Structure 1
Amino acid sequence: MAGILPKLIVFMAIFITLLTVIVDGESHSFSKTLPLRSKKLKREKMSHLHFYFHDIVSGRNPTAIKVAEAESTKTSPTEFGKMVIIDDPLTEKPEATSKLVGRAQGIYAMASQSELGLLMTLNYCFMEGKYNGSTLSILGRNTVMSEVREMPVVGGSGLVRFSRGYAHAKTQWFNHTTKDGVVEYNVYVIHY
């Protein structure tokens, strides 16, 4: 009996330690919970951003460049398997000469075999006004033949950090020969 008691104490100590880690869900060696006020976070607000996205595939200075495709992409009616890197201008109005407010930087891939459906993962990097230096991250599906498409905003930085929301995309102009296009975006985000 005397030999069992020390083993029982060791077992209980290990059990309580494991239970504490499981219930607490945190490893205190690299993280800790902070109150919101410690980061000077005040009340949440909603912002609406409106701009035009210029996807330029043709010409001497394209802003969207194909970087990969499958062999079967060449015969696919939806270009399934094609991947494009973008650094597209975001402007205040639909004209390319309009004031530049930011850039859309990221990747889109043709991800549907049955329709023109893109997987878009990109950042809107703003360089104008109060949002200068701030970014919004988009990750979602864009069915380009739909009149209006909705994609989720999954995060942000700068003035829009902790963002969540959605982006509505509506094609303003598309050239079927060059595949250049202009898309109107209305983005609604909740942030601090």
Structure 2
Amino acid sequence: MAMIFPTFASLYIFFFLLFFSIFDMILVNGENQDFMRSLDSNLLDLKQEKLTHFRVYWHDIVSGHNPTSVVVVKPPANSVATGFGVIAMIDDPLTIGPEMSSKLVGRAQGFYALASQEELGLLMSMNFAFMEGKYNGSTITVLGRNAVFSKVREMPVVGGSGLFRFARGYVQARTHMFDIKTGDATVEYNVYVLHY
């Protein structure tokens, strides 16, 4: 008789622990997800998605007393001819025409890194921060590869803010002018962005 009691008690404790383990797993595995929920898009007042096209000129100025592109990481001593490893921060003007004197509509802020050992290829990460008209205060985020010597380079638009929330699309970059002596460049950007 003494042998039956410890067996019954062991079974009781086993089932008690099993019950609370299952209950605990239910809570941990997602039945109680207070940190997220599904929303109806009408709550965010999202209208019909539209396609907008912008053409701006990006002025990358590395020369002079007030450069808009500054190297923050120099290449290693054993660097290849492509400058692999260099990183530059940018605050480049965006204008409506190719001349620096044309109307300023925003700034390209971010960085580019020389990310290829084989050719002059950049990793671009920048926000087009608009400062003019309807889109003043809104941004478009571009992140992608820029093979500098290609006639047309395409990079994705991966997001935005303000009137460009939930933005997606792409940009096409074409070099308008490059000064080999100073390193200054003007690039035409055609931006195609889907947004609400």
Q: TM-score, normalised by structure 1?
A: 0.90
Q: Describe the SS at the equivalent of 1:41.
A: coil
Match of 1:129 in 2: 133
Could you say which residue in structure 2 is the equivalent of 1:47?
52
| Distance in 2 between residues matched to 1:55 and 1:154, nearest whole Å | 22
Which one of the candidate residues 24, 27, 52 is aligned to 2:33?
A: 27
1:33 to partner: Cα distance:
2.2
> Counterpart in 2 of 1:11?
21
Equivalent of 2:147 in 143, 146, 164: 143
Give the Cα separation in 1 of the matches to 2:45 and 2:122.
38
Tell me, which stretches of 5 or more residues in structure 2 are unaligned?
Answer: 1-7
Instruction: Find the partner of 2:119 among 102, 115, 119.
Output: 115
| SS of equivalent residue, structure 2 residue 77 | helix
Deviations 1:1-48 (A, max 9, x none): 6614433432332343344x1xx6x831x3322211111112211111
* Letter of the 2:67 counterpart: P
Q: SS of 1:166's equivalent?
A: strand
CA distance in structure 2 between the aligned counterparts of 1:153 and 1:135, rounded to whole angstroms: 11
Q: Output the amino acid matched with 1:94.
A: P
Aligned partners of 2:75 and 2:83 also within 8 Å: no
The 3 A distance-change label for structure 1 pair 83 and 8 is closer
Aligned length: 186
Cα distance in 2 for partners of 1:67, 1:14 equals 50
**Structure 1 unaligned runs (5+)?**
none
Instruction: Tell me the secondary structure at the aligned position of residue 46 of structure 1.
Output: strand
Cα RMSD after superposing both structures: 1.7
Q: 1:59 aligns with which of 52, 61, 64?
A: 64
* Residue 72 of structure 1 pairs with residue 77 of structure 2: yes
Partner of 1:37: 42
Deviations 1:137-182 (A, max 9, x none): 1111101000000111111001111111111000001011111110
Q: TM-score, normalised by structure 2?
A: 0.88
**Dislocated runs of 4+, deviation >4 Å:** none
